[in-house]
Structure 1
Amino acid sequence: MIQVGILLTKQYKLLSVAAILDVFETANKFHTSTAQEAPYHLTLLSFDEKNDGSFSSYESKNISTEDTYNLILIPAFTTEDIKSAIGQNIAFIPWLIKQYQQEAEIATVCTGAFLLGATGLLDGKAATTHVDACGAFANAFPAVNLKSDKTVTQDGKLYTSGGATSSFHLLLHLLQNHCGKDIAIKAAKIFAIDMDRHNQSYFSSFQPTRHHNDDLVASAQEKIESNYQDVATIEEMIKDIPSSRRNIVRRFKQVTGITPIEYLQQTRIAAAKKLLEQTAQQMTEIIYNSGYNDPKAFRKVFRKAVGMTPTQYRDKFQAR
């Protein structure tokens, strides 16, 4: 029987813990209904208290015990202040490292990847997280091989997943590894999950950094967002800003995490996505209205950024 430990971190997201329990309980029922041994034994783990009452029917333990686990799952965090959340859960870090050294697999749901990243175990390894948290993750853990477009990654004994429903793809992946493809397919049907979704890029939204005190960068951001349909070069964007090109680019990237040109491109792609979702404009109009003149270049940039063609994106997300 696979011993599964599910961390009840400070500020854990209730939905991700519920999803983990539901999927593994379903796999157990598949087996017990045919008089087979249940494959998973589930335990909820905390470091300063027992089960908080949300899952009173499950066994709960403190990580101060000497128990070892075959598989450990880290749920998503509810907070946007991930740095604070990691600080509140720092007691888990040495424990996770020890469990990994004792051959445990570790899997993370969504922003739970930040806690695993803080252990250093992901350094040099592939990982993903919520698509809109990838920038913060890359800045916090530059040694990790971040695969921001991926729904699920596996690198040895370490697994990560993207945002929200990507957790189900992670859980199906684990079921397939542990119980075989037939069980994974049965679970996919129960939970109505498309097993072949491997990309999460098209769920991303451009959320530029605003919480800073750099007036020069704020001015450059405003110019880009107000004139993205017309400007094409950095020089055009910053011609009225009293600073050198080199200084602006340096400060801009330091504050936002990307260059002014990348910021312009993401602003344009965000505008194109909105037009595809909310209007009936022809593709040529959308291309022009989002700041592009070359349809071929637009489609190439869009597909690289979003993971699908503009037409596919419209078919998937346009309001009917």
Structure 2
Amino acid sequence: MVQIGLLLTKKHRLLSIAAILDVFETVNKFYSKTEESVPFNITLLHTNDNQYDRTDMIMNYSAEDIKAAPLKELILVPAFNTDDMEQTIADNRVFIPWLIQQYKQGAHIATFCTGAFLLGATGLLNGKIATTHVDACNGFATAFPDVKLRSDKTLTEDGRLYTSGGATSTFHLLLHIIEMHCGRDIAVRAAKIFAIDINRDNQSHFSTFQPVRNHHDELVASAQQKIESRYNDAETIEEIIKDIPASRRNMVRRFKQATGMTPIEYLQQTRIEAAKKLLEQTSQQMTEVIYNSGYNDPKAFRKVFRKAVGMTPSEYREKFQLN
């Protein structure tokens, strides 16, 4: 029986906790119905400065303080429900040395969605691959530059560390863990119950470009505004930001420091996001979409779009068009 510890972090997303428990409980029932030994035993892990009586009663799971908990084979870190990740990680800092200790003693650690930020804060992911919610990737890359972030991936595995992307990617990592311990047949059976496409390995098409704006650099903010207003009628980034009172080198340096990307990357992201909205919300011909999102070369557009989104423009429209 695999001994699993599920962290009850501060500001955890309750839906993440519920999904994790539901999947493992479902698999355990596969075995209990045939009077076989269940494969997973889950304990909720908390700190003594939190009160989880209500949660424990609802979930009907045993709970332990991490200071008294024995070594776990597998530790699960749920997603966070927060708009201030830096403060949330600070609020959960008591888990950091404990996770390091557990890992050094042989535990496997799996994080779901933005739970990867807590694992990133331990330093255990440095030099290793990881993923997180696709819209949180810029913040993660800024906070943990030594991690090999794979923003396109649904899940990653590097040694004894596992991470997953956002939302339904949780289920893909859970199925991966189930397959490791119970075999492919049980994983497929669980995938059918939860209606999960077990082979999906890319989450790029779920992303939404969310520019960083709280950097307080007026020069960069002006450049952002110019890019967002002129992305579809200017051929080069130089043409867009030519009136910004700064050298190109200084502008690129400040822009990347403030937003996490270069002006050219920002322009590309803005154009691709515009194209996605046109594909979702209009019936424009593909040539119109290409032109209205700022591209003149259809071949170049399709290449950039597929690299950024993980599918062709036509596939994206078929999947997400609203009308």
* TM-score (structure 1 length as normaliser): 0.98
Q: Which residue in the other structure is 2:276 paired with? A: 273
Q: How does 1:164-313 map to 2 (within 5 A)?
A: 164-313=167-316
How much does 1:50 deviate?
Answer: 5.1
Structure 2, unpaired ranges of 5+: none
Amino acid at match of 1:31: Y
Cα distance in structure 1, aligned partners of 2:69 and 2:221? 52
Cα distance in structure 1, aligned partners of 2:191 and 2:148? 29
Partner of 1:154: helix, strand, or coil? strand
How much does 1:101 deviate?
Answer: 1.2
Amino acid at match of 1:67: P
How much does 1:63 deviate?
Answer: 0.5
Amino acid at match of 1:78: N
Partner of 2:54: helix, strand, or coil? coil
Contact 1:71/1:106 (8 A) holds in 2:
yes
Q: Give me the identity figure in percent.
A: 68
How much does 1:234 deviate?
Answer: 2.9
Cα distance in structure 2, aligned partners of 1:266 and 1:66? 46
How much does 1:145 deviate?
Answer: 0.9
Cα distance in structure 2, aligned partners of 1:66 and 1:255? 42
Partner of 1:149: helix, strand, or coil? coil
Cα distance in structure 2, aligned partners of 1:262 and 1:147? 17
Q: Which residue in the other structure is 1:54 paired with? A: 55
Q: How does 1:109-124 map to 2 (within 5 A)?
A: 109-124=112-127
Amino acid at match of 1:143: D
Are 1:65 and 2:68 matched, yes or no? yes
Contact 2:113/2:167 (8 A) holds in 1:
yes
Cα distance in structure 1, aligned partners of 2:214 and 2:221? 10
Structure 1, unpaired ranges of 5+: none
Amino acid at match of 2:41: H
Q: Which residue in the other structure is 1:107 paired with? A: 110
Cα distance in structure 2, aligned partners of 1:145 and 1:74? 19
* TM-score (structure 2 length as normaliser): 0.97
Q: Pick one of 98, 108, 132 that aligns with 1:95.
A: 98
How much does 1:55 deviate?
Answer: 3.5
Amino acid at match of 1:20: I
Cα distance in structure 2, aligned partners of 1:164 and 1:59? 26
Amino acid at match of 2:96: I
Partner of 1:44: helix, strand, or coil? strand
Cα distance in structure 2, aligned partners of 1:178 and 1:184? 9
Aligned length: 320
Partner of 2:38: helix, strand, or coil? coil
Q: Which residue in the other structure is 1:157 paired with? A: 160
Cα distance in structure 2, aligned partners of 1:66 and 1:188? 31
How much does 1:54 deviate?
Answer: 2.0
Q: Which residue in the other structure is 1:26 paired with? A: 26
Amino acid at match of 2:127: G
Q: Which residue in the other structure is 1:37 paired with? A: 37
